[in-house]
């Protein structure tokens, strides 16, 4: 299955060059689930041509902090275009870590800076059960900053939103990293398969 995939930005420290990169963890996940990625450069003025390549869904990956609303980063701009284009074409969207924050911002929400959300922690799911997840982020969405069309299905005890669904569009996002080794692997597999079914 062909999918559009956003990439993170990495600085080269030996000579001045900005690079768009993707963790090998994602490559392993793509192989496992039979996904063929179209990697989206962040420096594009227009991502529209990529939306015409027959992809069945959009994956917003993690890494990089969001810029401010007044001064969005290259990646913020590229991903906002991709989200808009995916919605217009009816493509299901899966957001991971930064992807959740970006979707929340796109729909009018806000993020805050946080500390201590590195490593394993517990999230409470909408059915009342609890699950350990991995976590590596210094920005987060709270209930107060949640965009109106998003519905929470996972959150931490201290009020950090960890999983959202759009109320009417095929959009789901999580704050943890399902591409990495995680205690939530069984749940993550179900989430990916459900998203893929929507994409098919």
Catalytic residue among 79, 155, 162, 177: 177
Report helix, strand and coil shares of the chain as percent, to nearest 5: 30, 30, 45
- pLDDT level of residue 145 (50, 70, 90 thresholds): very high
pLDDT digits (tens, 9 = 90+) for 93-124: 999 999 999 999 999 999 987 765 566 889 99
Classify residue 53 by its DSSP letter: S
Q: Distance between CA 3 and CA 38 in Å, rounded?
A: 6
Domain 2-199 has CATH 3.90.1150.10: no
Q: Distance between CA 11 and CA 145 in Å, rounded?
A: 30
pLDDT value at 136 more than 80: no
Based on the residue annotation, tell me whether 177 is a catalytic residue of this protein. yes
More confident position, 196 or 159: 196
Based on the residue annotation, tell me whether 117 is a catalytic residue of this protein. no
- pLDDT level of residue 54 (50, 70, 90 thresholds): very high
Catalytic residue among 79, 97, 137, 199: 97
Based on the residue annotation, tell me whether 179 is a catalytic residue of this protein. yes
């Amino acid at each position: 299955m062909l999918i559009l995939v956003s990439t993170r930005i990495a600085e080269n420290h030996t000579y001045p060059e900005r690079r768009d990169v993707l963790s090998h963890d994602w490559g392993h996940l793509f192989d496992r689930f039979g996904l063929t990625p179209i990697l989206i450069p962040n420096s594009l003025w227009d991502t529209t041509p990529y939306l015409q390549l027959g992809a069945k869904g959009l994956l917003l990956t993690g890494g990089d902090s969001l810029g401010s609303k007044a001064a969005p980063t290259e990646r913020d701009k590229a991903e906002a275009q991709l989200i808009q284009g995916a919605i217009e074409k009816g493509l299901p969207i899966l957001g991971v870590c930064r992807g959740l924050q970006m979707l929340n911002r796109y729909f009018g929400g806000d993020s805050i800076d946080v500390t201590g959300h590195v490593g394993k922690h517990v999230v409470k799911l909408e059915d009342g059960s609890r699950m350990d997840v991995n976590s590596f982020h210094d920005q987060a969405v709270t209930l107060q900053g949640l965009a109106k069309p998003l519905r929470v299905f996972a959150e931490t005890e201290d009020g950090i939103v960890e999983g959202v669904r759009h109320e009417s569009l095929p959009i789901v996002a999580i704050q943890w990293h399902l591409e990495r080794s995680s205690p939530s692997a069984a749940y993550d597999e179900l989430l990916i398969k459900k998203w893929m079914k929507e994409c098919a």
